[in-house]
Structure 1
Amino acid sequence: MADFSKYGGASREWKAVEAAFPSPAPDGSSVLEKRTAANANREKTSAALMTELADKVELIDVSIPARDGFALEGRLYWPKSVPKDAQPGLYLHLHGGGYLFGTLSSEDAICSNLAINTSDKGTPLVVLNLNYRHTPEWTYPTAWLDAQDGLAWIHATAVPQFGVDPAKVVVGGISAGAHITATLVLEQHLGKLPADVPRVAGQVLMIPALVNSQCYEPQLAQLASPKVSSLVENEFAPILPVHIAHFFTDLLKVPAHPRVDDTFLSPGNATAEQVQGLPPTVFGICGLDPLRDQGLLYARLLSEKAGVPTNVHLYRGVPHGFRRYGPDWLSVSRDWDATMEDGIAWVLKNPTATNTLDIIVHGEETM
Structure 2
Amino acid sequence: MSTDTTVGTAPGRLGDPSLTIGTDPRADPRMVAVFAALGIDGHADGAPLGPDAPREQLLGFVEAVEVGFEGLFAALAQDAPPVDGVSEELVTITGDGGHEIRLHVHRPDGVDGPVPCIYQVHGGGMVMLAAEGPLYTHWRRRLAAAGNVVVGVEYRNGGGVLGAHPFPSGLDDCVAGLRWVHAHLAELGGSHVVVTGDSGGANLSLALALRAKRDGWADEIAGVYAQSPYILGSWAEVPAELASLRENDRYWLNVSLFPVLGAVYDPDGAHAADPTCWPYAAGVADVEGLPPHVIAVNELDPLRDEGLAYHRLLLRAGVSSVGRTNAGLCHVGEILFPTALPDVYAAAVRDVAGFARSLS
Fold-level similarity (TM above 0.5): yes
* 8 Å Cα contact 1:91-1:169 kept in structure 2: yes
Q: Which of residues 111, 114, 122 is equivalent to 1:82?
A: 111
After superposition, what is the alpha-carbon deviation per residue over 1:53-74, rounded to whole angstroms, capped at 9, x for unaligned? Answer: 1x41010110021110111111
Distance 2:346 2:264 in 1: 33
Distance 1:22 1:74 in 2: 35
Q: Which of residues 277, 291, 299 is equivalent to 1:265?
A: 277
Q: Which of residues 34, 38, 46 is equivalent to 1:21?
A: 38
Q: Which of residues 230, 238, 244 is equivalent to 1:209?
A: 230
Report how far residue 127 of structure 1 moved: 0.4
Tell me whether 1:184 sits opposite 2:184 in the alignment.
no
* 8 Å Cα contact 1:39-1:101 kept in structure 2: yes
Distance 1:74 1:44 in 2: 24
* 1:122 matched residue in structure 2: none
Q: Which of residues 36, 39, 48 is equivalent to 2:70?
A: 39
Q: Which of residues 223, 229, 243 is equivalent to 1:229?
A: 243
* 1:159 matched residue in structure 2: 185
Report how far residue 108 of structure 1 moved: 1.7
Distance 1:17 1:39 in 2: 16
Q: Which of residues 220, 231, 255 is equivalent to 1:199?
A: 220
Q: Which of residues 152, 155, 180 is equivalent to 1:129?
A: 152
* 8 Å Cα contact 2:272-2:278 kept in structure 1: no
Report how far residue 19 of structure 1 moved: 3.3
After superposition, what is the alpha-carbon deviation per residue over 1:164-198, rounded to whole angstroms, capped at 9, x for unaligned? Answer: 22xx11111111000001011012123x25x4x74
Distance 1:249 1:113, change over 3 A: same
Name the % identity: 25
Distance 1:229 1:37 in 2: 28
* 1:361 matched residue in structure 2: none
Report how far residue 7 of structure 1 moved: 7.5
Distance 1:335 1:245, change over 3 A: farther
Tell me whether 1:98 sits opposite 2:112 in the alignment.
no
Distance 1:72 1:324 in 2: 26
Report how far residue 76 of structure 1 moved: 0.7
Tell me whether 1:310 sits opposite 2:321 in the alignment.
yes
Distance 1:259 1:105 in 2: 30
After superposition, what is the alpha-carbon deviation per residue over 1:42-89, rounded to whole angstroms, capped at 9, x for unaligned? Answer: 45755754x721x41010110021110111111110000313xx1222
Distance 1:275 1:286, change over 3 A: same
Q: Which amino acid aligns with 2:355?
A: G
* 8 Å Cα contact 1:211-1:265 kept in structure 2: no
Calculate the TM-score normalised by the size of structure 1: 0.77
Distance 1:179 1:232 in 2: 21
Secondary structure at 2:107 match in 1 = strand
* 2:51 matched residue in structure 1: none
Distance 1:215 1:172 in 2: 29
Distance 2:300 2:68 in 1: 26
Report how far residue 277 of structure 1 moved: 1.5
Report how far residue 110 of structure 1 moved: 0.6
Distance 1:71 1:81 in 2: 31
* 1:52 matched residue in structure 2: 82
Tell me whether 1:173 sits opposite 2:197 in the alignment.
yes
Tell me whether 1:280 sits opposite 2:310 in the alignment.
no
Distance 1:19 1:341, change over 3 A: same
Report how far residue 6 of structure 1 moved: 7.6
Distance 2:85 2:326 in 1: 29
* 8 Å Cα contact 2:118-2:194 kept in structure 1: yes
Q: Give structure 2 stretches of 5+ with no counterpart.
A: 1-8, 13-23, 49-59
Distance 1:59 1:90 in 2: 14
Number of residues of Structure 1 aligned to a counterpart in Structure 2: 318
Distance 2:99 2:237 in 1: 33
Report how far residue 336 of structure 1 moved: 2.8
Distance 1:256 1:330 in 2: 39
Q: Give structure 1 stretches of 5+ with no counterpart.
A: 120-124, 350-367
* 8 Å Cα contact 2:116-2:357 kept in structure 1: no
Distance 1:142 1:312 in 2: 29
* 2:27 matched residue in structure 1: 11
Distance 1:48 1:22, change over 3 A: closer
Report how far residue 331 of structure 1 moved: 5.0
Distance 1:151 1:236, change over 3 A: same
Tell me whether 1:290 sits opposite 2:302 in the alignment.
yes
Distance 1:12 1:18, change over 3 A: same
